[in-house]
Structure 1
Amino acid sequence: MAGKPKLHYFNARGRMEPIRWLLAVAEVEFEEQFILSMADLEKLREEGPLLFQQVPMVEIDGMKLVQTRAILNYIAEKHNLCGKDIKQRARINMYSEGILDIGEMIADMPFKYPEAEEKEKEIKVILTKATGRYFPVFEKILKEHGEDFLEGNQLCRADVHLLEVILATEELKTDVLSEFPLLTAFKARISNIPAIKKFLQPGSPRKPPPDEKTIEVGVKMLVELRQKAAAGP
């Protein structure tokens, strides 16, 4: 019998957070091995499982998977979160790719723009893109088909990714959905699915927004990674 999936990443949201969400929605318990220093990352690199020398990495079903989207695709396929046929799968993947684009902007922002002035500028960029480009798309999708979910009237990975990004965007601006009534209803509806409701409770594996210490550690590691890359092999 296969053991629990093991997640290798920093003790933060980042690119691992949508993976945590998808596993939680699939009701799959998992373990985490946090990377707390460059030494931890270098150890993983030297041991060889990081195909492209970077994380996240997930040990699952006898495999050591890297690349966020590849990991998400595998989990979605395994747990029937990717649609019933090839056309549904194409639309779900299309929606997911768009959602993940802005999700990664939000996740990267505290570490790429740690200074207050730069951070505020980037938040404005994110909010403009969220309300002007991304959220209108999903408001329209929900309006046009009149169903509870984005595709096929059943929960799929895109629904999960969208809720995660909505909640993360609301941390930047609490009333960001004020012009999107269908997305507001969608958020309430999806948040009340039992597995998701459980994941949103305190004490779950869901990571909080990065605090000052997390940002400090993350920025330091980014600087070290850039210096190492510039120095060459």
Structure 2
Amino acid sequence: MRLKPIEKRERVYQAVIQQIKQAIEQGEILPGEKLPSERTLAETLGVSRTSIKEAMTVLESTGVIDVRPGVGMFVREESERSLLLKFSMILDEKEEKLDDLIELRQAIEGDAAFYAAIRITEEQKMKLTAIYEKLVEKEKKAEVATEEDFQFHYTIVEAANNPLMLEVMNLVSDKMMDSVTEIRNFSIQHDQLNEQVVKEHEKIYEAIIHHQPEEARKAMWEHHQGIKVRLLKKGGKEQ
């Protein structure tokens, strides 16, 4: 495969996927063949292994590759046309409206919070608590807590112990990070909005930790409604 370093202004995981697609189009890698290791791909493309893992997660969940533990990553043995169609679906660059993304998260994460309150393990409780405490610390300092916010929501979906929900989160993770950054940059400029975000996260956390599924689902749903309201305020300010 003739790979080239990826420019950082691109969405990195999509750029990784694009190069693998091109390698298949050009016959440099065939259906059924093994891909280079994550380390090799990261070094060749000049990106982090986290970005490679994200790209491979997307490719695996959409049926482009098979990951065989201890063996490697293999392109599915399908026709080239079938594989390229899957790539086209992944790399579709249509710009989703931010409120559409919020509604998708509202649907998935509302139920994820419900099941997390029922299924969360003690180990997952410890992980969620540690992330929540970091999030609160940054929020109270009015700092942009993009990574902490994302990890808080992602850990709740993990605690739902539903692999399909987690796959959907992985597919939209890049868009999620963009939206979290946009809304948080606006919220921290307003004490009242920032305080509201803190309270919303607290309600979600408390309901899950105390095994209150209906309250957890309601708190998560209301949190995303709050995001919608903050988005409208942001739009009104910019007009």
Considering Cα pairs closer than 8 Å and 6+ residues apart, tell me whether 1 or 2 has the greater RCO: 1
Work out whether the TM-score is over 0.5: no
Q: Which has the higher helix share?
A: 2
What is the TM-score of this pair, normalised by structure 1?
Answer: 0.29
Structure ID, larger Rg? 2
